[in-house]
Structure 1
Amino acid sequence: MAAKKNFPLRIDPALYEALERWAGEEFRSVNGHIEYLLRESLKRAGRLPGRMSRDSDD
């Protein structure tokens, strides 16, 4: 697996708290859940690059 890209993310505290609760219900970290949500959104939009579209969903 390729190294992951790090970048800062500024997010509204209320949004973070909602993501934190949702991630916990899915047994994921907040970071992992954000990555999952972004991947699913890209799949639905048909914009996910080739290899990533075949990777598993956590």
Structure 2
Amino acid sequence: MTPPPPPERKQVLLRLDPAVYEALARWASDELRSANAQIEFLLRRALAESGRLPSGAAPIARRGRPPKRPAPPAAE
């Protein structure tokens, strides 16, 4: 059985001052994130701290190699 597809991600256009973007990109690099992931991380943290993060918001998708699944039992 295949898992359901993940919900579509909302795409938005964001205009930033170039100096702000450069600082954000450096910060993201320091934390091994993309600039996009850093923006989402910071927005979610601000929403949570203000009590405005929706309870139904999906967690941030983890990037990289998926976790190993246990091998199925060997047939005897």
Same structural fold, with TM-score higher than 0.5 when normalized by the shorter chain: yes
Unpaired runs of at least 5, structure 2? 1-5, 63-76
Larger Rg: 1 or 2? Answer: 2
| Superposed counterparts of 1:1-58, under 5 Å | 1-52=6-57, 55=59, 58=62
- Aligned pair count? 57
Unpaired runs of at least 5, structure 1? none
Q: C-alpha separation between the residues in 2 aligned to 1:36 and 1:2?
A: 18
- Residue identity matched to 1:55: P
Structure having the higher helix fraction is 1
Runs of 4+ with >6 A deviation = none
For the 8 Å contact 1:23–1:30, the answer to whether it is kept is yes
Give, in angstroms, the shift of residue 7 of structure 1. Answer: 1.2
Q: What are the Cα deviations for residues 11-37 of structure 1, in whole angstroms up to 9, with x where unaligned?
A: 000000000000000000000000000
Query: What TM-score, normalized by structure 2, do the two folds share?
Result: 0.67
Q: Which structure has more RCO (C-alpha within 8 Å, separation ≥ 6)?
A: 1
